[in-house]
Structure 1
């Protein structure tokens, strides 16, 4: 191929590639594929993209290392089909963590040359220069940094959720209650979904340019722990076990509708604010905060380790102090102690999102990582609620409620769940969003009835 004349000629795979002048880091290719195969690839890519909208767990770290090494990794399906993948300068829409920052259907036509899997990491010249300046942590230290970020922000999420429960609960505002469809965790689920529109969709790329770990900490750690699906499901089980089946049904509808509207409102307001920053030339102010060398990474990590130690130390001290009292303080401090493992497990499970089932990767559109986290947390919470009613002692009440509030509240999430639902709803096959929501709610609630409601009805627990 003559690079100087920009002439196009067919390659061996049947596609036609055009390379820019010498020294240009990108090439532009267009595929010549059968229409049926093109449609199949298009559907597979969209399915994978919407499933990975919320989180991809520690796979983001592997993707980042691929991008920093300058390599391009093709999806397994693309390699198996022997297809060459189109690469263009306009294709560099994904951040360094390979996480979706917007719905795949929201991309403008001029930004898409042809379908590209999320696994294809393409960096523009500007981003390649940023990567050359960035400092790459050793893999072990990078994992440790992520775990510390997730732990600190997870505990902060639990504290925020608890305070919102008290603020909007019967004791203060009286908006939410255990006896009505407006359950206690509804405000935190709405706030977390709204902020997911800001930090997890619109501004995620900007936050990642400051620090990839900060983006993980804010979205997976803080917002994932601020919101809880298991608490939502358990409140609906409590209503149904008392015979308020209509309240349970309405509670699920209200919770889903308000969370879905909250993330749309968050995305809309964040886009308006971002356009204002761009017009006022303030979008580059974050460059000075970038964590891009060894000293910055280690400095931030040391500070977060100290904060985590203080949070755990204070929680242990307050747990011992409040344990003999009848207030809910002991439950809160125990929740702060056991919260980080819940966040870590959810983060590792998120690596299953977008992978599908089996070697063929069927049902890629289902975020199995998030689904497993939410359903398992709901089932364990239902089991602990059954134990509380069966044992009915102060010690059992404190320990069970603390685990429910902290570990299980952080293991399950509404913010990621609703981000995935929103991406599916805005895709070409919007029925997947409703199917995913119905699948998550129906399986969790159905298993909860077997684990919690049936023993309560048959044993006469009160």
Structure 2
């Protein structure tokens, strides 16, 4: 039991480990639940785990309810000091075994291999806001943090440019991937313990908007149109290499920092080892945060609209930035909604379940629209068209596409028993986006 607990602890800390062996161990431990949930193969479980590593969209709003966890614990007759780990695939959560009278719970994992139910949940944290209000609050989190992500623009250091394989968005993609290792993998479960909506806002909203796949693809299209095919290939290769190693470095440093925190906690008996003591998922806390975020969102949109009105006629980069801040949240919302397709696969049989189709669709569609707007700017050649098109490219499409989530999924696949899937997924993402973008952009 100690070895299994250690293995699960490493999984929760963000070191995905070998997913196949973990899934096999978890499935064996849940063998007694066969009367409640139909068993899945190791490959099915691994595919769902990997494809949901980055984001699962609005499906996450139906999870982590304290009362639901307590209900499941009672139905399984779990003792007060015990802890059970149950891998529950998304598709199985909507079904009840015909031979069982036990209730099933709608639970969806956010970023870890399995769901951990413990008796540490206190009664006062179980009351949450209604689902409709929680959805509205989640959209507000995504909008505010998405706008903040756009303020950290790509113009960071002088070694990057629009006409180089070190494309302008590379620093933002590297920083976003590094931070995804911290807040989207290692510390995501801890942040979720404080607030599920904050975890979604940080990863999907802030980090997803800080990074951009469509901008990266467009810069490579610009190089290919000029006939610089070698630079185009190197640009994709170096961009993928640096982003992948940024998230690896982020995971490693975050694990080291978390180990120091845990060592300090073990040395002090007065410090609680659980985040449930200060969890902010109560209805009162969520309502307070919602009001504050609505005020911030109103200010951000109001200031952006006022500055856009004053700067629009100049056609400056500032006018493009303020327009991007206005339309950016729309891109975040669309990408978050598409993320519900991750882990579902194709058709009722769930074909190719290991491919995160939500992220794939968001990035490819954003790259295509980005190429179309670039073609429009070259055709019209007016200041107004350039300002509007660039603002939409930087804001809406920059927020619709993401490298940080893409890298979280890539990292999960690399740590699985089938690491070749990471390269296959990256190849599909890049080739499809570049091929469709070339068909659109070459028409000018």
Question: For this structure pair, what is the TM-score category when the shorter chain's length is used for normalisation?
Answer: 0.7 to 0.9
Q: Which residue of 1 aligns with 2:424?
A: 435
| Partner of residue 405, structure 2 | 416
Aligned-partner Cα distance in 1 for 2:310–2:283: 40
CA RMSD of aligned residues (A): 2.7
Measured in 2, the distance between the counterparts of 1:77 and 1:251 equals 42
Task: Give, in angstroms, the shift of residue 76 of structure 1.
Answer: 3.7
Is 1:123 aligned with 2:107? no
- In the TM superposition, 1:34-49 aligns within 5 A as 41-49=41-49
Q: Assess if the C-alpha contact under 8 Å between 2:156 and 2:171 holds in 1.
A: no
Paired residues for 1:97-176 under 5 Å: 98-101=109-112, 121-126=115-120, 129-130=121-122, 133-160=125-152, 162=153, 165-168=154-157, 174-176=158-160
Secondary structure of 2:48's counterpart equals helix
Deviation at 1:298, TM superposition (A): 1.3
Is the Cα–Cα contact under 8 Å of residues 68 and 131 in structure 1 kept in the other structure?
no
Task: Tell me: CA distance 1:211–1:247, structure 2 relative to 1, closer, same or farther (3 Å).
Answer: same
> Are residues 46 and 132 of structure 1, via their aligned partners in 2, closer, same or farther at CA, if it must alter by over 3 Å?
farther
Superposed CA deviations along residues 262-302 of structure 1, whole A, max 9, x for unmatched, are 00000000011011111112675966753143322111111
- Structure 1 residue matching 2:391: 3-state secondary structure: helix
Structure 1 CA distance for aligned equivalents of residues 68 and 124 of structure 2: 10
Q: Using a 3 Å threshold, how does the CA distance of structure 1 residues 395 and 257 change in structure 2: closer, same or farther? A: same
1:152-231 matches, within 5 Å, as 152-160=144-152, 162=153, 165-168=154-157, 174-231=158-215
CA contact (8 A) 2:90 2:108 kept: no
Residues 404-443 of structure 1: CA deviation (Å, up to 9, x unaligned): 0000000000000011011111111111100000000000
Task: Compare CA radii of gyration and give the structure with the larger one.
Answer: 1
Deviation at 1:99, TM superposition (A): 1.1
Are the structure 2 counterparts of residues 138 and 321 from structure 1 closer, same or farther at C-alpha, using a change threshold of 3 Å? Answer: same
Shift of 1:68: 4.7
Residue 84 to residue 51, structure 1, CA distance change in 2 (3 Å): farther
Alpha carbons of structure 1 residues 275 and 81: separation in structure 2 relative to 1, 3 Å: same
Q: 1:252 & 1:192 partners in 2: Cα distance? A: 17
Q: In structure 2, what is the Cα distance between the partners aligned to 1:248 and 1:206?
A: 40
CA gap 1:372/1:79 in 2 versus in 1, 3 angstroms = closer
Aligned to 2:311: 322
Q: Offset at 1:134? A: 2.8
Instruction: Give 2:76's aligned residue.
Output: none
Distance 1:142 1:79 in 2: 21
Distance in structure 1 (CA, Å) of the matches to 2:292 and 2:30: 47
SS in 1 for 2:41: helix
* Alignment partners' CA distance in 1, 2:123 and 2:366: 38
Q: Distance in 2 between matches of 1:135 and 1:32?
A: 28
SS at match of 2:221: helix
Q: CA deviation at 1:167?
A: 2.4
The structure, 1 or 2, with the larger RCO (C-alpha pairs under 8 Å, 6+ apart) is 2
What is the CA–CA distance in structure 2 between the aligned matches of 1:315 and 1:443, rounded to whole Å?
35
Shift of 1:131: 6.6
Residue 321 of structure 1: CA displacement? 1.2
Change (3 A) 1:417 1:392: same
Q: Tell me the number of residue pairs that the alignment of Structure 1 and Structure 2 aligns.
A: 388
Q: Distance in 2 between matches of 1:124 and 1:341?
A: 37
Q: Secondary structure at the match of 2:379?
A: helix
Quick one: distance in 2 between partners of 1:97 and 1:421? 20
Identify the residue that residue 64 of structure 2 maps to in structure 1. 64
Report the CA distance shift for 1:84/1:298 in structure 2 as closer, same or farther (over 3 A): same
Verify the 8 A CA contact 1:50 1:365 in the aligned structure 2: yes
For residues 55 and 131 of structure 1, the distance between their equivalents in structure 2, rounded to whole angstroms, comes to 29
1:233-244 pair list within 5 angstroms: 233-244=217-228
Q: Give the TM-score normalised by the residue count of structure 2.
A: 0.82
Rounded to whole Å, the distance in 2 between the matches of 1:290 and 1:46 is 30
Structure 2 stretches lacking a partner, 5+ long: 1-27, 74-87, 101-106, 266-270
CA contact (8 A) 1:231 1:409 kept: yes
Q: Is the 8 A contact 2:320 2:390 kept in 1?
A: yes
Name the structure 2 match of 1:114.
Answer: none
1:246-261 equivalences under 5 Å are: 246-261=230-245
Cα distance, 1:80 vs structure 2: 8.4
Matched, 1:394 2:383: yes
Determine which of 246, 251, 266 is the counterpart of 1:262: 246
Q: Using the alignment, how far apart are the partners of 1:364 and 1:81 within structure 2?
A: 22
